[in-house]
Amino acid sequence: MASLLADVPVTVVETHEDPVDAVLFPEEEAVIAKAVAKRRNEFTTVRHCARTALARIGVPPAPILPGQRGAPGWPAGVVGSMTHCAGYRAAVVARAGEVISVGIDAEPGERLRDPEVLNLVADETERAALGALGVRYPAVPWDRLLFSAKESVYKTWFPLTGRWLGFEDARVELTAEGTFTARLLVEGPVVEGAELTVFSGRWAVRDGIAATAIVLPVTAALPVV
């Protein structure tokens, strides 16, 4: 994930382990009190990553509680995103004056186990494009990347709108060069006085993880990553 975001104004902290010194605030403990060990480890470690990242931009540690639809509640003046999957946790934060919104997602770096999931995630156009990419680059888990990209789109979208965005509400086009675009098929958020209709992002598959990321920097131009 860090390499995906190396040249944009965000701070990334990631780990493949659950550190023993990761702790929760009492308010966070209350949220996770009845969770199984797997969920507790994910919840705790990703917040450890987030607070480490916040410290690097000069923000003191604070509870990061799930809000509406589970979106993390960041300290005032901060935007961010978190993700976790088996063997990986990551958090990205930035100052609100530099970045409007950010969305990251990490998944196992393998094809979707249930082919029916792709029918739920992708429309006919997207499935055809994945098929063409799969012929040229069969080692890349394109269906998993599409799923991840749509998760990153949602995580970027929700802080701007407070509204749900379904898989069918954005059409994602992946490229072999490690980028993707997501064209909104519903009314987009107004950003810097203009309706935003396209999100641009990056993807990577390495160390058994498929990751995607979108950053909307503060700029008068259309956001790119």
CATH number of the domain that residue 166 is part of:
3.90.470
With a cut of 70, say whether residue 218 has pLDDT above it: yes
Q: Which residue has the higher pLDDT, 224 or 128?
A: 128
- If asked whether residues 71 and 136 sit together in one domain, one would say no
Give φ, ψ of 121 to 5 degrees.
-90, -40
Range 203-216 average pLDDT? 96
**Which pLDDT score, from 0 to 100, does residue 192 have?**
79
Beta bridge partners of 170: 184
Residue 43 within any structural domain of the chain: yes
Q: What average pLDDT does range 50-56 have in this prediction?
A: 97
pTM of the full predicted structure? 0.93
Contacts of 173 (CB under 8 A, 6+ apart): 126, 129, 180, 181, 182, 183
Looking at the structure of the chain, the number of domains it has is 2
Tell me which residue of 163, 167, 178, 181 sits closest to 222, measured CA to CA.
Answer: 181
| Predicted local confidence at residue 220, as pLDDT | 37
224: pLDDT strictly greater than 80: no
Q: Of 58, 80, 104, which closes a domain?
A: 104
Q: Say whether pLDDT at 222 is over 90.
A: no
Do both 138 and 172 map to the same domain?
Answer: yes
Does 224 map to a domain?
A: no
For range 153-159, the mean pLDDT? 97
